[in-house]
Amino acid sequence: MGLTYCRPVAVRQVLVGATPGDAVTNSALWLDDVLRAAGVDASIVARHRHPALTSRVGPLAPAGTALGPEDWLLVHLSIGDVEVADLLAATPARLALFHHNITPGRFVADLDPGFAAELDAGRALLHDLRPRVERAWAASAFNAAELVDLGYADVEVAPVVVPPPGRWDDVEAHPATAHHLEVVVDGPLVLSVGQLLPHKRPDLTVQAFHVLDTYLRPGAHLCLAGGSRFPAYAAGLQQLVNELVLDHAWFSGHVPDAELAALWRAAAVFVTTSEHEGFCVPVVEAMHHGVPVVARGHGALAETVGDAGLVLDADAGPELVAEALASVLDDDGLRAELVARGHRRAAVLTEAAEVGRRHLVAALGPGSGTA
């Protein structure tokens, strides 16, 4: 009588880069938690791993070899990478895809042609993977539509980039930052959260703040919180602030959770003038913290904001953005309404994310493979 070995299906998530605080990385970590809690043999591997994450994220190299044809490789594609492409081509595992969206290379072609080429290679890989991908999810309907355009079928929308409930409950605001904001920021704080990348248009946010500060609401403050991949671009933005003599505008760089919590709690309004977003997690964070949202209607932003924020025309210029900011700052009724709607919208998206994670586990977890 032969011995039959039954083992659980393994689900390995593949990232190109794993970085603390990054939305794609976070979504993979939260999904990993849910998969493990369901008894799935789950793990995460990445081509580039931040040292702080090596205990949770393994190296890419042996990832494909230890999987069988009944296992799943869930790819979070954010950029092209030769080694990831090779792994996906070689693995015998079943392929699943999560589409967070990929920034079109044209936005950074002038700053870094190599990086632009990698971004475009990511989009090309999205196309090439289609025949092999058995299950596909997208963070937004906007992203799902992109996959459908590429020929993907049955794409499910699951905003798993939204944190699980209670994500911010245990994050105490950094005392020194909170004190600094209380003492130094003597006017309403306009907060923008996101990396300083050209497609997020921080330059337009600065221009809008110039209009707000000069013509509509002197005394407001602007903080642009987020790291920068391109030092020259960040230096240019600082130069723009200097030349417009915006004494109350500053760049915080990348901030850890505790400092970000202090900023959220001090903020009077959140603004994004981005031109390309596959979801935009800071919108949900703003709503969770009771901060009204002003955004331009690009990419998935109108979808994420829903009816809980001021979504301006996609081509809104600095004057309209500034008018919206002034309106939120000065109209208490509108402000209270946006806060109430924001709380409700954040709760809806948080629940949708939980449902999405459960669907993913059901689709990839126990019962999805063969013994």
Partner 1 sequence: MAPDPDPTIDLASVVDRLRARVAERRAAGEYPPELEAELAEHAAAVLGRPAGSGEGAATAELAALLGAVEATRDLRVDPDQLAVDSRVPGGARIHQLIVRSASRLDQQLADQLQHHASATTSLARAMLEDRSRHLDDTHARLDARVDGVADVVASLRRELGAAEQVLDALVERVASLEASLAAALDALDARQASEDRPAPTDG
Residues that bind partner 1 (CB under 8 A): 5, 7, 10, 43, 54, 58-59, 61-63, 66-68, 203-204, 206-207, 210-211, 215, 231-233, 235-237, 239-240, 243-244, 290, 307-313, 317-320, 323-324, 327, 333-334, 336-337, 339-341, 343-344
Task: Return the DSSP state at 370.
Answer: -
- What number of other Cβ atoms are within 10 A of residue 57's Cβ? 24
In the complex, what is the shortest distance from the CB of residue 177 to partner 1, in angstroms, rounded to a whole number? 25
In the complex, what is the shortest distance from the CB of residue 76 to partner 1, in angstroms, rounded to a whole number? 19
In the complex, what is the shortest distance from the CB of residue 279 to partner 1, in angstroms, rounded to a whole number? 20
- Structure token digits, residue 43: 């793990």
Measured from the CB atom, the residue of 186 and 243 that comes closer to partner 1 is 243
> Torsion angle of alpha carbons 230, 231, 233, 236, nearest 10°?
180
| Distances from the Cα of 150 to the Cα of 24, 100, 119, 144, angstroms | 21, 15, 16, 10
In the complex, what is the shortest distance from the CB of residue 211 to partner 1, in angstroms, rounded to a whole number? 7
Q: Please give the Cα distance from 371 to 367 (Å, whole number).
A: 9
- Structure token digits, residue 111: 């700053």
Q: Please give the Cα distance from 246 to 234 (Å, whole number).
A: 16
* 358: Cβ contacts below 8 Å, ≥ 6 apart: 34
Direct distance between the N- and C-terminal alpha carbons of the chain, in angstroms, rounded to an integer: 18
Measured from the CB atom, the residue of 60 and 125 that comes closer to partner 1 is 60
Measured from the CB atom, the residue of 137 and 230 that comes closer to partner 1 is 230
In the complex, what is the shortest distance from the CB of residue 296 to partner 1, in angstroms, rounded to a whole number? 11
Beta bridge partners of 223: 191, 250
